[in-house]
Homo-oligomer: A and B are copies of this chain.
Amino acid sequence: MATGRTHRPATRSRGIPEATVARLPLYLRALTALSERSVPTVSSEELAAAAGVNSAKLRKDFSYLGSYGTRGVGYDVEYLVYQISRELGLTQDWPVVIVGIGNLGAALANYGGFASRGFRVAALIDADPAMAGKPVAGMPVQHTDELEKIIEENGVSIGVIATPAGAAQQVSERLIAAGVTSILNFAPTVLQVPEGVDVRKVDLSIELQILAFHEQRKAGDAEAAAAAAASVLPPRAADGPTRKGPDGDVPAVMPA
């Protein structure tokens, strides 16, 4: 779901597949939980189950990092936690700014998950002068005017945009101009960013719409199944591959 990332095809030796990178945090979380329970080693099968993935996939993912397992035994939990953390760049501290301190921005500021993994909220920024100075999550909100100064003084390279959609593009441009090269965008807009800037998008509305699609499909299938059962048609016994039906889709007539 990341958009606007620019890949370099040249570095193939070090190339960890994007899909693998996206799963590393998942493994890391499961491993951290094991670590807290002082579990010394874990097999790919167990860890895969905890992370909700296929064990072969997990092993292949780890193979991109190197051979960190012991055959017949499994993986050393502590060691793997360290390796993944290092690979993800979590052994260093990442200052982050959150722009747009509305309901969502405030929720993000209060979210504990930030601080727990090498991310530090360096500043909260909002365009509303009335917000300036108001404490949110134990930190005073600063005005947008300070944006550039904050970015530069703190060496911020990751910005979180939680503004209304209309302001997002402009905010992203200011962030980028000031030195930010990675953006986590919560605003429901497609950001246009220059080469070399990574943007990841989190969009509630889109997620819900995707769920609605599947939900509708389930309901449609159920109805179709019921209708088929009720009709004279022989109810296709095997309900394995959901009967897609003789395309029950009606060619809708064009409105207007």
Contact = CB atoms under 8 A, between A and B. Distances in A.
- Copies of this protein, total: 2
A172 interface: no
A46 B41 CA distance: 54
Most chain B Cβ neighbours within 10 Å, of A113, A213, A253: A213
Given A11-B241, A103-B111, A251 B182 contact: no
B241 A117 contact: no
Interface stretch (A1-9, A55-63, A127-135, A142-150): A1-9
A194 interface: no
A1 B200 contact: yes
B117 A208 contact: yes
Interface size class of A (residues with CB under 8 A): 35 or more
Nearest to A82: B251
Nearest to A21: B213
Most chain B Cβ neighbours within 10 Å, of A50, A119, A204: A204
Contacts of A207: 2, 184, 200, 202
24 contacts: A1-B1, A1-B202, A2-B202, A4-B52, A9-B241, A11-B241, A13-B217, A13-B242, A22-B206, A25-B206, A25-B209, A30-B190, A78-B251, A79-B251, A85-B254, A87-B213, A88-B210, A89-B212, A94-B212, A94-B215, A104-B111, A114-B205, A118-B212, A202-B204
A-B pairs, 3 with minimum CB distance = A1-B1, A89-B216, A82-B251
